[in-house]
Amino acid sequence: MSEFDFINDLRSQTEARGYPSELLRGIGDDAAVLKQLTGRDTVVSADLLVEGIDFRRDATQPRLLGHKALAVSLSDIAAMGARPRWALVSLAIPADIWASDFVAEFYKGLLGLADCYEVRLIGGDLSRAPGHIAIDSIVIGECLSGNAVLRSGAKPGDHLFVTGTLGGSAAGLRLIERGARVGIHELEDPDVRSIQELLMRHLRPAPRVGWGLVLGEERLASAMIDISDGLSSDLHHLCRESRVGVILESGKLPIDSRVAALCGRRALDPLMLALHGGEDFELLFAVSSENLSRMPNKVDGVGLTKIGEIKPDSEGIRVSEGSRLWDLKPEGWRHF
């Protein structure tokens, strides 16, 4: 199959999903065309996944990778409090990968997740690559004008919340590094189920699209970011943009229960995984006292935990652990 046949096939698949009224032109031209709507803002983000850095080909599956490629960008749109609408995906792959079922499976995973949120694939690019796979995932979303939740709106006195649980993705990555694989396990191991679930937490993350929509549309969050690099680093980003400090209560962190159960025997520290691990793709956000009473407890079955309080900039970024108070350094993921 030539790339042109493939793109035509992908175009048919996306067109079979119906043509949203604002989509004037999807796959099949030099660019996609979208009708702009009065009173709305467009929100756009791009995320790279590079083989050997962000994933290992032997530790994931093409369908999981397609899911994750879209999930990481959906998470960014959720962190703006916006509704994801359109996706573009650029894929650079070696010729041997093209000859396999990789691409078909990759798009199955990607389109499956897109369907969950009625997101439409409208473009991208496809290129041969000499060695490693590289994926760039672009998502365009929208929100009512002025409703985008920036990183910069947190105020001292605001309450700091996080959705879901922390540390699971990092634990899954550590298990992969130690040889664990999806679907392969020793039958005798009592931890089999937890291990498999943590692997999936890393390989098939669930973006908090529902939470993002509620927080944005109801104007509940004063500042928000998604946890991709790691709580410590992402909290630093949010505080720097808002020019505030924070006290994080370590005892309140919603550490994934499977992480706590597995870490002891494997010499991993659950608190360090939760603070610096990254790729949990939970939402970290600030809520003013006035808005507290309007906060839902759960959205789409995903809970919420208050983990700290926003302070003046001068107080720095600190963790309260028992009677101790220590500075939190940004020790999450860094590319360079």
Residues within window 87-146 making contact with a copy of itself, judged by CB under 8 A: 88, 90-92, 95, 98, 122-132, 134, 136, 138-142, 145-146
124: nearest Cα among 54, 210, 220, 27: 27
- Residues 246, 317 contacting (CB under 8 angstroms): yes
Nearest distance from residue 119's CB to a copy of itself, in Å?
A: 14
String of DSSP letters for 6-31: HHHHHHHHHHTT---TTEEE-SSSSS
* 336 lines the binding site for a copy of itself (CB under 8 A): yes
Contact 258, 170 (CB under 8 A): no
Minimum CB–partner distance for residue 86 and a copy of itself (Å): 8
Considering only residues 245 to 304 of the shown chain, the ones binding a copy of itself according to CB under 8 A are none
> From the CB of 149, what's the least distance to a copy of itself, in Å?
9
Binding piece for a copy of itself, criterion CB under 8 A, among 2-10, 112-120, 252-260, 264-272 = 2-10
User: Of residues 36-65, which lie at the interface with a copy of itself (CB under 8 A)?
Assistant: 36-54
Distance CA 159, CA 285 (A): 8
> Which of the stretches 23-31, 110-118, 185-193, 257-265 binds a copy of itself when contact is defined by CB under 8 A?
23-31
CA atoms within 13 A on the CB side of 244: 24
Tokens at 81, concatenated: 């409090």
The answer to the question of residue 235 lying near a copy of itself (CB under 8 A) is: no
Distance of closest approach, residue 39 Cβ to a copy of itself, in angstroms:
8
**Rg value, the chain, Cα:** 20
Say whether residue 321 binds a copy of itself (CB under 8 A): no
Per rule CB under 8 A, is residue 3 in the interface with a copy of itself? Answer: yes
Do residues 60 and 158 touch, judged by C-beta distance below 8 A? Answer: no
**Calculated CA dihedral for residues 68, 74, 80, 85, nearest 10 degrees:** 170
Q: Bridge partners of 284?
A: 162, 225
By the rule CB under 8 A, 309 interacts with a copy of itself: no
Per rule CB under 8 A, is residue 241 in the interface with a copy of itself? yes
CB of residue 322 to a copy of itself, shortest distance in Å: 31
Q: Verify binding: residue 213, a copy of itself, rule CB under 8 A.
A: no
State in angstroms the smallest separation of the CB of 24 from a copy of itself: 6
Listed in sequence order, the residues at least 6 apart from 90 whose beta carbon sits closer than 8 Å to its beta carbon are 124, 125, 126, 127, 135, 136, 138
The reply to whether 183 sits near a copy of itself by the rule CB under 8 A is no
| Nearest residue (CB) to a copy of itself, 109 versus 123 | 123
